[in-house]
Structure 1
Amino acid sequence: MGIISLLWGIVALVWMVLALIPLLGWGNWFLIPFAAVGAIIAALGILFTAPGRRGRAKAGLALNLVVVVVGIVRLSLGGGFI
């Protein structure tokens, strides 16, 4: 599950960069739930993986959480309508 969450986070990060472009801010409305699902997958990966092999799941969790926070900040600034 760690590699899935990491890849999910990379896709969310690319999507986030595209959503930062003016007139594409509406993408954040779909990005936040997408990255939240990736964070849930990463959390499950951390729970069900041996302690020595949790690096990818932790990286995926951090990446997805960063994307969620940036998406929320962008929407709070009015970026969802522009």
Structure 2
Amino acid sequence: MLNVLSILTGLLSLIIVIPSQIPFLGIGNWLALPVIAVGIVLGQLSSKRSGRNFNLVILAIAVIRLLLGGGVF
């Protein structure tokens, strides 16, 4: 059950992260980071690891985008 919640949290954060890849919408990545963190914690508490790994991939995408944009844009 926790794995399903982790995947759903990951999908929610993915909906936030995808439009945030457009220039000047990068603030959405900052909004997605706490949601991703909750998904990682839920995935870690689960017996399966697919939800945690999915959230880690989304976290990597968001962090790389923030690094490329200087953290703001």
TM-score class, shorter-chain normalisation, is: 0.7 to 0.9
Larger RCO (CA under 8 A, 6+ residues apart): 1
Over the residues paired in the alignment, what is the CA RMSD in angstroms? 1.4
Structure 2 unmatched ranges of 5 or more: none
Runs of 4+ in 1 over 2 A off after TM superposition: 79-82
One-letter amino acid matched to 1:23: F
Q: In structure 1, list runs of 5 or more residues that go unmatched.
A: 47-53
Partner of 1:76: 67
- TM-score, structure 1 as length reference: 0.77
Q: Which residue is equivalent to 2:54?
A: 63
Q: Report percent identity of matched pairs.
A: 36
When normalised by structure 2's length, the TM-score is 0.85
In 1, the alpha carbon distance for the partners of 2:46 and 2:72 equals 35
